[in-house]
Amino acid sequence: MIAYVTVGADDIALAKRFYSAFLPALGYGLNEGPEGLSFALPIAPGQSPVLPDFYVKPTFDGRAASAGNGAMVAFEAQRQSQVRDLHAAALDAGGLDEGQPGFRAAYGPHFYVSYLRDPQGNKIALFSSNPDEPGRDG
């Protein structure tokens, strides 16, 4: 099980604007501190944490943050309309388009996805695979 994912950012304020455009809509709460941004799903009293957490931090070695070639973090949305809305919100918050919302021939018939780059260049996917919504072939 993945416990957390961390991406580096040189401009935490810009990263906060970008990630706050869609992560709260997916249920993530934000804790901000001198070490950066910590996004986590709420924990019910007496329950274990819902994982993974997502962290946006300055680099530990002090060098410029960079995106990993081939690395991507995917966040699941409830509906296709939410993928579209959050993709647009993330673009308005400083993200770069890497693939408009829609179906891809290489994936299953209900996998509806969009791709973005955060302001630091990290690749982000927003997807829904809700079987109750129309699929690629329907």
Q: What is the pLDDT of residues 13-51, one digit of tens each?
A: 999 999 999 999 999 999 999 999 999 999 999 999 889
- Given a contact cutoff of 8 angstroms between Cβ atoms, the answer to whether 2 and 52 are in contact is yes
pTM higher than 0.85 for the full model? Answer: yes
Domain definitions of the chain by residue range: 4-58+72-128
Q: What is the pLDDT of residues 66-83, one digit of tens each?
A: 999 899 999 999 999 999
pLDDT exceeds cutoff 80 at 114? yes
The helix/strand/coil state of 83 is helix
- Given a contact cutoff of 8 angstroms between Cβ atoms, the answer to whether 73 and 53 are in contact is no
Which of 30, 38, 36, 22 has the alpha carbon at shortest distance from 115? Answer: 22
> Does the structural domain 4-58+72-128 have CATH classification 3.10.180.10?
yes
The helix/strand/coil state of 65 is coil
CA distances from 118 to 57, 97, 102 (A): 13, 9, 19
Residue 113: pLDDT band (50, 70, 90) is very high
